[in-house]
Amino acid sequence: MAGVDYRESEAKSVLNPVKGMGFRWSINPYRGCTHGCHYCFARRYHSYFDLNAGDEFSGIIFVKVNAAQVLRAELARPGWRREMVAIGTATDPYQPIEGRYRLTRGILEALRDAETPASVVTKGPLVVRDIDVLQGVRDAASATVCVSLTTLDPARWRILEPGTAPPAQRLRTVARLAASGLNVGVLVAPIIPGLTADRENLETLVRAAADHGARFLGARALHLHPGVKEHFTAFLEAEVPGLLPLYRRLYPGAYPSAQAQARIDERIEDLRARFQLEARPPAMGAPAAPARVTEAVRARRRAAPPTDGPEQLGLGV
C-alpha cells in the first residue's frame, strides 16, 4: 500500500504463550495494522519497537516472512499437544498486505496439517479466499472465524475505522463463511461509549449478524490502556470533543466504570437472547450446517419485544 513502510523480518518463534484467555497460544504474522482503527488496543505494542501508537502503528508494518515455516517446526515438536491457536490477537491477519505475502494462509495450512484447531479474528473480507483451508482445519481439528464489527452506520465507521472494509462487505463475508459450513460469529468489539454503545446501533448490528448466519456473538467494552488512551483522547479532541467530559468520568483508568460496564453487558445479553445467538462458539469439530436464514426466522426474531431501559451514563449519545 502506498505510503506504508513494510519491514520484513525472520522470526525465531511464532507461537506466543497466552495467559488469562480462553486459549493458550496465539500467532500474529504481522505487527502494526493499516486498518488504523483509533480504538485498537494493539497500538500500545508498537512502543516495544520504539515507535508511537499513532501514525507509526498504521504506517510501519512488520512482516514475519518465515512465519509458516517456523510454525511447522514448532508444531512438529514431540511436546506439542494440538491446543487451540488464536490468529490475529494483536494485528489483523487479513489486512491488505496478506494478499501479497499469504502468511496467514500458510499458517492455516500448517495448522491443518498438524491437526491443530484454529480461531481467527479479522475485519478483512480477504478471509473468504481461504475458505478451503479453513474447511480443512475444521475437518482435521476445528476452526472458528470471528468477524469484527463495531457499527453499521457509515458516518461512524469512517471516523472510527478509516482503513477497514465497509461494514456491509464484512456482513457479506459472514454470510459466505456461514454458507460454507464454517463456525462463524461476530465480535462487537470494542463497544464505545457515546459512539457505538447506544441501543439502536447495537440492535441493528446484532440483528444483521443473526440475519447473515452468525452462530455466536462476542462483545467487550472499550479498554484504554496507556498509549492507546492518549491516542484515543487525541482522536476525540479532533472528531467529537463534546465526548471528552464523558470519557473523563467513565475512564478514570483503563477500564470503564462498573456501572457503565454493567449497562453494556445487560444490553448485549438482551440482544443475544432476542436473536438467539450464543455468547461463544458452539461445540466445534463437526462441520456446521450451511446457514440458511429464512424470512420466517427473521420475522420471528423481529417480533420479540425489545427490552428498553433508561438511557444513562452517556451510553446513548
Instruction: Print pLDDT tens along the chain (317 aa).
Output: 568 999 999 999 999 998 877 788 999 999 999 999 999 998 988 777 778 778 888 899 999 999 999 999 999 999 999 999 999 988 999 999 999 999 999 999 999 999 999 999 999 999 999 999 999 999 999 999 999 999 999 999 999 999 999 999 999 999 999 999 999 999 999 999 999 999 999 999 999 999 999 999 999 999 999 999 999 999 999 999 999 999 999 999 999 999 999 999 999 999 999 999 999 887 544 445 555 444 444 454 444 443 333 333 445 43
Residue 14 lies in a domain: yes
CB 195 within 8 A of CB 156: yes
Q: Which residues are 147's β-sheet partners? A: 122, 186
Q: What phi-psi label fits residue 64: left (phi over 0), alpha (psi between -120 and 50 degrees) or beta?
A: beta
Residue 16 lies in a domain: yes
Residue 312 lies in a domain: no
Q: Name the residue range of residue 196's domain.
A: 5-303
Residue 66 lies in a domain: yes
E strands in 97-178: 118-122, 143-149
The CB-side HSE value for 75 (13 A sphere, CA atoms) comes to 26
Domain tally, the chain: 1
Residue 108 lies in a domain: yes
Task: Count H helices and E strands in the chain, helices first.
Answer: 12, 10
Residue 315 lies in a domain: no
* CATH for 77: 3.20.20.70
DSSP letter (8 states) at residue 97: T
CA distance 270 to 263: 11
pTM over 0.95: no
Going by their DSSP bridges, the two strands 183-191 and 5-9 should be labelled as unpaired
Residue 317 lies in a domain: no
Cβ neighbours of 166 (radius 10 Å): 14
Q: And the C-alpha cell for 83?
A: 491446543
- Of 39, 170, 144, 43, which Cα lies nearest the Cα of 86? 144
Residue 289 lies in a domain: yes
